[in-house]
Amino acid sequence: MIQARAWPVRVMYMLIAAALAISLFIAAAPAQKVGGDCTADVCAEWDRVSTPTMDDFVLTPESEIIDYALASGGDVAYALVYGYDEDWANEDYRLLKSEDGAATWKDITDEVEAEAEAELFDEDQDEIDELVLVGTDWVDPDFVAVALWWYDYDGGMSPAYYLHVFISTDGGDNFMDTGEVEEAGVYFDDADDVSDLAVSYEAAGKRDVAIAGMDWDGSSALFRCTVTGDAPGPWRDTTEYEGWDDDTGAGFNPDLMGLGYVSYLVTDIIFSPDWGADRTILAVTFCGYGPGPGGYEYGAIHLQSGAWGATTGNWNLAGDFEDAVLVKEDVYIPTFLAGDDGRGIAGVVLPEDYSGTDADYRYAWVWTNYYTETAPGVGYSAGEILRVRNGAVDAVDTQIADTPWLTNVSYWGTIAEGKAIAGVLAYSQPYDLDWLDIIKPCCEGVQVYRNDGIANMEICCLEWDEACKPPTGRTSMAVSYVSDDKAYAVALHDYVEDGDEDAWSVSFDDGDTWNQLSLIDTYISYVSDVAVSPDCNKTMLVTVAEDIWAYNVPDPSFAPWDCVITYDLGGGYYDVRYIYCDSVWVYADTFPEAGFSEYSGHWLRTWCGPLLGDNTDLMPFDMERGLLRLAPEETDGMTVYLVDRMTDTIYWNELETLACWKTRSSAAGGIDEIVDLAAKDEATIYALDWDGGVAMSDDHGASLTWTDSVDAKVDDGWTIAVHGEDILVGGRNADVGHSDDGGETFTALEDIPTPTNGNDNVRVTVAFDTYFDTNDTIYAALAHAYYDNGIYLWVIGADPELWHRTDAKPYNYTGLVLDRPSPSNPYTSPETGGVLYASYYTRVPEELGNCDNCECDYYDVDGYDMCWHSGVARCLTPITELCCGVGEAEWNYLTWGLDGDELFYMVPHALKICGCLTSDSNSKLFVVDGYDVDESYDAYDMVDGEYGAVWTFEDCYAKKAVELTSPVDGFVVPTSACECENAPFLVKWDRLCDACCYEIMTATDEDFTDYYSWIVEPSAPLTPSEWMEEGWFLPETTYYWKVRTVQAETCQDIYSWWSEPQSFTISPTASSATIHLVSPEPGTTGMARIGLGFSWNLLASADEFDWVLSENADLSAPIESKTGLTSTAYGCTKTLDYDTTHYWQVTAYKDGTAIAISSVGTFRTLTQASEPVEPEPEPTPFWVWVVIAIGAVLVIVVIVLIFRTRRV
């Protein structure tokens, strides 16, 4: 770093070099040390981004949600799940609890099991066989009931099974057993016979727990247990209450609505919202009285109403209600659904002002699924909603289109006015459905319908609307309003074991758009891309569940739930692609949207679908790839484009992925295989084809808005970048095309010189400089060019135009980003360029000592064991004075914090940047680790997110400079005692970020053309300083100094901007710096009052002097003072007082710095009496006047004669 210098300066720097020799050796040490724990707020190291994992049960692959219950307006939730723990180790039934609106969950199963072991189990082989249902009163978050099926193994051939309900009154911290659900020999014989579990509101310190289904004898079962405080009472069989099934009380031959049959299945139960006053419970029952197709029974659905007292109760007429209401009769009921969930047959929902004590407020909706025949063997399946008004029944006028089977209906509002959402169980067909018909198409989700035009619980006009973005899953979708503007959708009962996308979803627009919160049954094989809003608030991911291929399969057959694409090879052979669903996720530090704000700090899945591109250009693999692109002018990342790479499919979202996605195709522009896409603004996009063609749409990719494809003048397309009307295209053969007319035409730039591989398969990532509008500079980063890899720049319109290779190392570069212009970064300019970052990967030899931050394999190259190495190259000033085609900018390589086997290879544009908006916001980098040392995609770690991860680096230094604090600018350094060199002095500066090592530079000119620099590692990192030792600097010389960072506490080499220079001056030697007052000599008396002259002398070199004169010894209230005198003398212009002592002093300056101050000189003016008196002048004698007159006459005569002579 030492430049050539003038000889005298060299001599002085040689002295410094000798004195610094030891410190220089010490300064070299940090490069070899291992970084310790960083103590700063921001550390110069890579960190993994916390991405979706199985932690907190966000991901639950191969799981099934069995049941759920809510409380506290949905903030508290309980869920029964069959699946793995957070370590993906143990598969079992689990009771989970959420206290943050289903964003995260904790497993409280152990608390249930602890009570079971203490109260029930007497043998080692006694176990809980199944968790069946869970219930709350939907208000109290602390009361929860869970039904469990357990077996008692007493050593016999088969164990005995029992149904118990455990309750907790402290939110699941402790449970207690309510005993077996049984009375008088009536009990449940199978867990599949249990349909519903409900909990009443608390009233007078008591609440009821009810559980229903079918008993051991094939009859309806509905038991109650009254809990007082935390003490459960006995279980009572409420079907024995008077009035059940309209029993006339004769004790035999009960008559259900005159049909002569009894109900044998309770499908759904619900407590009145006015329970404290009306003590009402409603039950939906099924009565079968004829055979049907397999899995069906011919029969009727009823709604029965009961009034429960403290210890007993009555039903229907006996309870002052109407008869059991016949809701639907003479239809085929899908009783096969009872094996998973009897609620899938029929259910009931109430308005918030329902009252069992007032007939005018006994409004309810009952929905039921059935099959009916219009002729033998001809029929249709339907799900129907019916309104029950006390005892009257009528079908709601406006049913859901095509009447699909319903999982449930959720109603929000009063009788007079309300809204509803309904979750689909199965889509209707003109035949009797079976359980295979419940399975939905792959990756499409399960439809939810909504209607907000309900009056008097009737829908006369407004149609039900489909969700534009349905919740994900493939089987039954249950829905629940939890507030006026929030609803949940929960995918229940998994019929597909392998990643069926079941999840817990949320909506804030009455069920039009749904996004997934947690319990997501999906796979993540790898992260395909990351995008970050410029304000760094939002991070978005595309994750891929890798499809599985089978090749040359003869006449393949598939299960009904398989998601496959087949490719006919001829001769009865096929390639088979098993499709798995891919995902888009969004995370925000703060979601600004209403409702979503409560999920700030959590990941939400916002898209689920198949990515189908065959990415053969991403050698050596042809896996699925999704790309995310944001609108550059939007700092909040609102507009998002998702590209299914190597297809013509583009998805557009205008609310940071939260809204509904609109599907677009670039085929109208002649782009069939998109390799990259660039957004000019939120509406204008440019698509780059594999063949190098470019087309533009100015309306979000709408079909009629695409221009025809234009040749970008590259052999094959790789990357595209847009800046206003300028477009750059990077090819695959070291070629670059440029357009300055918005893509109407392109010009081929000169190929980047790559002699070592002949431009074969050299992939070019392109970017515009931050200040392109001013400096016309573009960049191209190369990969696969061997020793010609690097970062090149080109100035458009320069003479000559050519590629300049920077000093960046010859790595394989995969991404290229720059920060934003001043004032965002006040240190950059068109002359420096924006701060540039480039992601890379490479192999380096282990034996050469370059593997400090990577793991090595044994891939032998030229006799060396090679290891993968990745990072990001960084340059503060990529545009510098160019000499001989090589840049002189300085580069850092950001690698600290990486594990060592990462490969930043998720091209194109692998690197993203945010945080560039203001000068006080750090730039943050994001990059995906997508390639492993075995040359295959690194499988994403769904348990901990440790591999295949997204990495981030916060650059605390790119917009900052060191601030010098001591000495003050212009400080004068005294000379040492020997009077030939400086005395030691301390320089200080404020610590910058987590810096531990700095470079100090000194020079004798402000431009630092001749300088000396050295590295220091302050012993006190929080208060950095450096001693300038005795003898380093020459007397009577002004020096300039500045400081920058070179290494962080983490041991990451990283430059900051240089501090603002400050100066110090070495004072003259003691002898030469003495100002001698010459005149008046000190102590002189009788000095003149007028025109008094002052003089002094100084051996040292000075260029200015200050002089002051005062009658006061402290020189206050000066009579006269002067600054900037350039000579060593001055004449006083003031008249001094008589007989007065005067004081004066001189200060000498060199280069604006005071180098010497004289002692205070004194003198006294003369007294008035001693001042000489001038005598009166004598009169002029007369003869003098005569002589003057004669002289004047003679002068006149002479002049006259002169003129007369000239005339002659």
Task: For residues 464-472, give the mean pLDDT.
Answer: 98
784 closest CA partner among 613, 625, 617, 647 = 617
Q: What is the pLDDT of residue 754?
A: 87
The answer to whether 577 touches 547, Cβ cutoff 8 Å, is: yes
**What does the block give as tokens for 101?**
């609106």
Q: What is the pLDDT of residue 866?
A: 60
The C-alpha atoms of residue 725 and residue 743 are separated, in whole angstroms, by 8
- The model's confidence at residue 862, banded by pLDDT at 50, 70 and 90, is low
Q: What is the pLDDT of residue 364?
A: 98
DSSP label of 669: G
The C-alpha atoms of residue 12 and residue 24 are separated, in whole angstroms, by 17
Going from the C-alpha of 239 to that of each of 298, 779, 798, the distances in angstroms are 23, 80, 93
DSSP label of 1053: B
Structure-token match 């893509």, residue found: 743
598: three-class secondary structure by DSSP? helix
The C-alpha atoms of residue 1162 and residue 1185 are separated, in whole angstroms, by 51
With a cut of 90, say whether residue 982 has pLDDT above it. Answer: no
Q: For 19-84, list the strands marked E by DSSP.
A: 46-48, 64-71, 76-84
Give the other-Cβ count within 10 Å of 28's Cβ: 11
- The model's confidence at residue 68, banded by pLDDT at 50, 70 and 90, is very high
**What does the block give as tokens for 1191?**
């002289």
With a cut of 80, say whether residue 40 has pLDDT above it. Answer: yes
Q: What is the pLDDT of residue 259?
A: 64
Residue 1137 CA, distance from chain mean position: 80
> For the chain, how many helices (H) and strands (E)?
5, 80
Q: What is the pLDDT of residue 1186?
A: 52
Tell me the per-residue pLDDT of 765-811, one tens digit each, with 9 for 90 and over: 999 999 999 999 999 999 999 889 999 999 999 988 899 999 999 99
DSSP 784-829: S-GGG-SEEEEETT-SS---EE-S--S-EEEEEEE-PPTTSSTT--
The answer to whether 664 touches 705, Cβ cutoff 8 Å, is: no
527: three-class secondary structure by DSSP? strand
DSSP label of 943: T
Whether 7-31+960-1066 shares its CATH topology with 1075-1165 is answered yes
Structure-token match 């300039």, residue found: 1040
Start-to-end CA distance of the chain, whole Å, equals 89
DSSP 3-state percent helix, strand, coil across the chain (nearest 5): 10, 45, 45
Please name every residue paired with 640 in a beta bridge, in sequence order, or none if there are none.
630, 653
539 closest CA partner among 589, 498, 578 = 589
- The model's confidence at residue 419, banded by pLDDT at 50, 70 and 90, is very high
Q: What is the pLDDT of residue 4?
A: 34
Dihedrals phi, psi of 409, to nearest 5 degrees:
-130, 140
Q: What is the pLDDT of residue 744?
A: 97
The C-alpha atoms of residue 437 and residue 432 are separated, in whole angstroms, by 9
Q: What is the pLDDT of residue 687?
A: 98
**What does the block give as tokens for 467?**
């969700």
The answer to whether 108 touches 97, Cβ cutoff 8 Å, is: yes
More confident residue, 382 or 864: 382
The C-alpha atoms of residue 1165 and residue 484 are separated, in whole angstroms, by 98
How does the average pLDDT of the chain come out, rounded?
89
The C-alpha atoms of residue 548 and residue 550 are separated, in whole angstroms, by 7
**What does the block give as tokens for 1020?**
């006190």
The answer to whether 738 touches 731, Cβ cutoff 8 Å, is: no
- With the CA atoms of 364, 369, 373 and 374 taken in that order, what torsion angle do they form, in degrees rounded to the nearest 10? 50
Instruction: Assign residue 101 a region (left: φ > 0; alpha: ψ between -120 and 50; beta: otherwise).
Output: left
Q: What is the pLDDT of residue 257?
A: 54
Tell me the per-residue pLDDT of 902-926, one tens digit each, with 9 for 90 and over: 889 899 999 999 997 899 999 999 9
The C-alpha atoms of residue 249 and residue 256 are separated, in whole angstroms, by 12
The answer to whether 381 touches 426, Cβ cutoff 8 Å, is: yes
Amino acid at 84: Y
- Choose the most confident range, by mean pLDDT, from 611-615, 950-954, 1149-1153: 950-954
Q: What is the pLDDT of residue 888?
A: 58
Task: For residues 91-109, give the mean pLDDT.
Answer: 97
Amino acid at 363: Y
Q: Report the alpha-carbon angle 1082-1088-1094, nearest 5.
A: 50
With a cut of 70, say whether residue 1203 has pLDDT above it. Answer: no
The C-alpha atoms of residue 1098 and residue 1077 are separated, in whole angstroms, by 9
Dihedrals phi, psi of 517, to nearest 5 degrees:
-100, -45
With a cut of 90, say whether residue 238 has pLDDT above it. Answer: yes
The C-alpha atoms of residue 358 and residue 1081 are separated, in whole angstroms, by 119
Task: For residues 534-561, give the mean pLDDT.
Answer: 93
Q: What is the pLDDT of residue 677?
A: 98
Going from the C-alpha of 759 to that of each of 438, 505, 789, 794, the distances in angstroms are 56, 50, 11, 18
Task: For residues 1152-1164, give the mean pLDDT.
Answer: 90
985: three-class secondary structure by DSSP? strand
- The model's confidence at residue 671, banded by pLDDT at 50, 70 and 90, is very high
With a cut of 70, say whether residue 451 has pLDDT above it. Answer: yes
The C-alpha atoms of residue 942 and residue 526 are separated, in whole angstroms, by 10
The C-alpha atoms of residue 962 and residue 1058 are separated, in whole angstroms, by 6
- With the CA atoms of 401, 404, 408 and 412 taken in that order, what torsion angle do they form, in degrees rounded to the nearest 10? 0
- The model's confidence at residue 16, banded by pLDDT at 50, 70 and 90, is very low
Burial class (CB in 10 A: 0-12, 13-18, 19+), 595: middle
Q: Which residues of 826-844 are buried (b: 16+ CB within 10 A; e: fewer)?
A: ebbbbebbbbbbbbbbbbb
Structure-token match 């099974």, residue found: 161
- CATH superfamily for 1075-1165 is Immunoglobulins (2.60.40.10)
The C-alpha atoms of residue 606 and residue 1011 are separated, in whole angstroms, by 57
263 closest CA partner among 281, 283, 285 = 285
DSSP 467-484: -SBPPP-SSEEEEEEEET
Query: Could you tell me the residue ranges of all domains in the chain?
Result: 7-31+960-1066, 549-579, 1075-1165
662: three-class secondary structure by DSSP? strand
Structure-token match 């203001």, residue found: 918
With a cut of 70, say whether residue 13 has pLDDT above it. Answer: no
The C-alpha atoms of residue 392 and residue 872 are separated, in whole angstroms, by 73
Task: For residues 80-95, give the mean pLDDT.
Answer: 94
The answer to whether 1011 touches 1003, Cβ cutoff 8 Å, is: yes
CATH for the 7-31+960-1066 domain, from 2.60.40.10, 2.60.15.10, 1.10.540.10, 1.10.150.390:
2.60.40.10
With a cut of 70, say whether residue 158 has pLDDT above it. Answer: yes
Task: For residues 1043-1047, give the mean pLDDT.
Answer: 97
999 closest CA partner among 959, 967, 1044, 960 = 1044
Q: What is the pLDDT of residue 443?
A: 94
Burial class (CB in 10 A: 0-12, 13-18, 19+), 1189: exposed
**What does the block give as tokens for 568?**
């006919």
Please name every residue paired with 971 in a beta bridge, in sequence order, or none if there are none.
1064
The C-alpha atoms of residue 153 and residue 311 are separated, in whole angstroms, by 34
Sign of CA dihedral 443, 444, 447, 450: positive
Q: What is the pLDDT of residue 253?
A: 43
Whether omega for the bond prior to residue 800 falls within 30 degrees of 0, making it cis, is: yes
The answer to whether 811 touches 788, Cβ cutoff 8 Å, is: no
- The model's confidence at residue 931, banded by pLDDT at 50, 70 and 90, is low
Where is 289: in which H helix or E strand?
strand 280-291
Q: What is the pLDDT of residue 156?
A: 66
